[in-house]
Amino acid sequence: MQRICLFPGTFDPVTLGHTDIIDRALPLFDELVIGIGVNSGKEPMFSVEQRVEWIREIYRGQPTIRVTSYEGLTVNFCKEIGAKFILRGIRYVSDFEYEKAIADINRKMDHDVETIFLTCSPEYSTIASTLVRDVIRHGGPAAQFLPEQVAESIIGAAKKKS
């Protein structure tokens, strides 16, 4: 039986914190599905297509990674793709409390899906997409928080606008 894991998130944009968790999770699973959740109530800074493209570019040549988008309950999407694991990254203790509540609800809805928590490496613990979006919006030095492919794309787009 294949160990398929879903790493859900908005990845708006994908940061070095995300790639830290992905890179460290790769040896744990046969397939890691990076699922970009689409929430109609939120207006993302970057399109779903752009976020999918970034992750595919970052992990080009990595056969155990699949990138897709989905709507609805994460636990239902797990059934669709055959995932028995959900991966969540933890930066702080406060993240754990929130993530544990979600994991408990998911487990009640489907007792066959297990949530796995990975703490991020200390050098990435302060990186959050929300904060990175603020840096980008205000023209700050966001590249230090982003994978090279994402930074180049955002900086290139900003140069075209000016």
Q: Is 160 a catalytic residue?
A: no
Cis geometry, peptide bond prior to residue 13 (ω within 30 degrees of 0): yes
Known active-site residue 91:
yes
11 is in an annotated binding site: yes
Active-site option among 24, 56, 84, 91: 91
- Choose the catalytic residue: 42, 108, 111, 160: 42
> What is the Cα–Cα distance from 101 to 104, expressed in whole angstroms?
5
Residue 80 among known ligand-binding residues:
no
Q: Is 130 annotated as a binding residue?
A: yes
Query: Is position 129 annotated as part of the catalytic site?
Result: yes
Is 108 noted as a catalytic residue in this protein?
A: no
Is there a binding annotation on residue 72?
no
Q: Is 89 annotated as a binding residue?
A: yes
Catalytic center residues: 18, 42, 91, 129
Question: Which residue ranges make up the annotated binding site for ATP?
Answer: 10-11, 18, 89-91, 99, 124-130
Question: Which residue ranges make up the annotated binding site?
Answer: 10-11, 18, 42, 74, 88-91, 99, 124-130
